[in-house]
Amino acid sequence: MLKRFFDVKISRRDFLRKAAIFLMSIGAGVELSAFFDRKKKVKLDKETLREAMFYKRLDKDVVQCEVCFRGCIRKEGQRSFCRNKINIDGKFYSLVHSRPSAVQIDPIEKEPAYHMFPGTEILCFGTAGCNFRCKFCQNWHLSQRPIEEMDIIYELSPEDCVDIAIKKKIPTLSFTYNEPTSFYEYVYDIAKIAKEKGLHILFHSNGSMNPEPLKELLKYADAVTIDLKGFTKEFYKNTSSAKLAPVLGTLKIIKEEKKWLEIVNLHIPGLNDNPLDIKRMCRWIKEELGDDVPLHFSRFFPNYRLTNITATPIKSLEKAHQIARDAGLKYVTIGNVPGHKLNSTFCPNCQGRIIHRTHFQVLKNNMKNGKCIFCGYPIAGLWEL
Ligand code: SF4
C-alpha span between 104 and 125 (Å, rounded)? 7
Report the nearest atom of ligand 1 relative to the CA of 131: 7
pLDDT at 21 over 80: no
Burial category of 268 from C-beta neighbours within 10 Å (exposed 0-12, middle 13-18, buried 19 and up): buried
Residue 338 has pLDDT above 80, yes or no: yes
Q: How far is the CA of 82 from the centre of ligand 1 (A)?
A: 6
Q: Find the 85 Cα to ligand 1 centroid distance in Å.
A: 8
At residue 367, the 3 state secondary structure works out as strand
Return the domain boundaries, the chain: 102-350, 351-385
Atom number in ligand 1 closest to CA 81: 7
Residue of 173, 179, 212 lying closest to 193 (CA atoms): 173
71-102 per-position pLDDT tens digit: 999 999 999 999 999 999 999 999 999 999 99
**Cα gap 32→105, rounded to integer Å:** 8
Distance of CA 80 to the CA centre of its chain: 20
Query: How far is ligand 1, taken at its centre, from the CA of residue 334, in Å?
Result: 32
- pLDDT by residue (tens digit) across 154-192? 999 999 999 999 999 999 999 999 999 999 999 999 999
Higher pLDDT, 41 or 81: 81
Q: What are the distances in angstroms from CA 69 to CA 6, 51, 249, 284?
A: 27, 20, 11, 22
> Cα of 223 to ligand 1 centre, how many Å?
23
Band of the pLDDT at 42, cuts 50, 70, 90? low
> Residue 303: which residues within 8 A CB-CB, separation 6 or more?
136, 137, 138, 140
Q: What is the pLDDT of residues 249-269, one digit of tens each?
A: 999 999 999 999 999 999 999
Which of 163, 144, 172, 158 shows the shortest CA–CA distance to 100? Answer: 158
What CATH number does domain 102-350 carry, 3.30.565.10, 3.30.56.10, 3.60.20.30, 3.20.20.70?
3.20.20.70
pLDDT of residue 46: 76
Q: Could you read off the pLDDT of 104-116 as tens digits, one per residue? A: 999 999 999 999 9
Q: Is residue 129 predicted with pLDDT exceeding 50?
A: yes
**Confidence band, pLDDT 50/70/90 cuts, at residue 27:** very low
Residue located nearest, by CA, to atom 6 of ligand 1: 68
CA 206, distance to chain mean position in Å, is 7
245, burial (CB in 10 Å: exposed 0-12, middle 13-18, buried 19+)? exposed
Whether 312 and 273 have beta carbons less than 8 Å apart is answered as yes
Query: Distance (Å, rounded) from C-alpha 233 to C-alpha 175?
Result: 26
> Residues with Cβ within 6 A of ligand 1?
65, 67-68, 70-72, 80-82, 85, 131, 181-182
* Residue 159: other Cβ atoms inside 10 A: 13
Question: Is 171 within 8 Å of 385 (Cβ atoms)?
Answer: yes
**For all residues of the chain together, what is the average pLDDT?**
91
Q: Output the pLDDT for position 43.
A: 58
* Protein residue closest via CA to atom 2 of ligand 1: 82
Which residue's CA lies nearest to atom 8 of ligand 1? 72
